[in-house]
Amino acid sequence: MKQPIIFIFVIFITSLFAISCTDNATVEKARKLEERNKALLSQIEAEQKQRQALEQSITELRQQMDAAKLATEQRGVEQWNALIDQVLVKLDRVKNEHKAFSSARLAGEFTSEETRLKSIARDQESQARSLVYELKAQKFPKAEKLDQLVEEFTSAYMNYISYNKVSWQLVKTFGKATDDIKKKESKYLLDYNDILNKIKALKEKE
């Protein structure tokens, strides 16, 4: 009778031990899982912080680039406007040059004065286009247009000088110039003044 009781007791104790071992294993697994989850969460948080720091750095870099671009554009506008002013100085020098046809009497004097005025125009055009070349070399978008206008100005001015000379010759010889000559003289005078205004209009707002 005692042996079955002892046997049952042994089985009971063994079962308790097995259950205890099972519970301990489960607890250990749970602990390891919790540690793994905590480590994963820490890694995710660290990656989020790194991503936020990277996004902040990118934002700051873009702001710096935008500021640098704006400063570069501003310097470009200032340079463009300054060189246009220099070009206008050259062309105004041509426009305002004294014309001595009114005091000329002989044909040679008219021709000499015409040659002098056109020589000044060509010289100033050459200097002006050298300035424009600097702008073209730096890829300013309106540099080609400016170069074209400088060339057109010189052409219109020289045509004006030719008709202005003839007009004065007719006045000195016959007392007045023909209507056709005066119309062409006025046309080219208006043309080169209009071109000057177009050049001024190329300036950018600062």
Q: What is residue 44's predicted lDDT score, i.e. its pLDDT?
A: 74
Whether the per-residue pLDDT at 65 is higher than 60: the answer is no
Whether the per-residue pLDDT at 8 is higher than 80: the answer is no
Per-residue pLDDT of 100-109, as tens digits, reads: 999 999 999 9
Cβ atoms of residues 163 and 180 within 8 Å: no
Helix ranges restricted to H, the chain: 2-95, 107-137, 143-174, 179-201
Domain ranges of the chain: 76-201
| Residue-averaged pLDDT of the chain | 83
Nearest to 105 by CA among 173, 175, 176: 173
How sure is the predictor about 72, in pLDDT bands with cuts at 50, 70 and 90?
very low
Per-residue pLDDT of 184-194, as tens digits, reads: 999 999 999 99
Per-residue pLDDT of 16-60, as tens digits, reads: 555 666 656 676 776 777 777 777 777 777 777 777 766 665 555
Enter the tokens of residue 143. 């540099």
Whether the per-residue pLDDT at 157 is higher than 90: the answer is yes
| Max intra-chain CA distance, the chain | 164
Lowest-pLDDT choice from 28-37, 84-93, 151-160: 28-37
Q: What is each CA distance from 60 to 56, 66, 67, 142, in whole angstroms?
A: 6, 10, 11, 33
Bin 177: left if φ > 0, else alpha if -120 < ψ < 50, else beta. beta
pTM metric for this prediction: 0.67
Q: What is residue 63's predicted lDDT score, i.e. its pLDDT?
A: 45
Per-residue pLDDT of 194-205, as tens digits, reads: 999 999 999 988
Q: What is residue 71's predicted lDDT score, i.e. its pLDDT?
A: 39
How sure is the predictor about 180, in pLDDT bands with cuts at 50, 70 and 90?
very high
Q: What is residue 66's predicted lDDT score, i.e. its pLDDT?
A: 41
How many C-beta atoms lie closer than 10 Å to residue 118's C-beta? 17
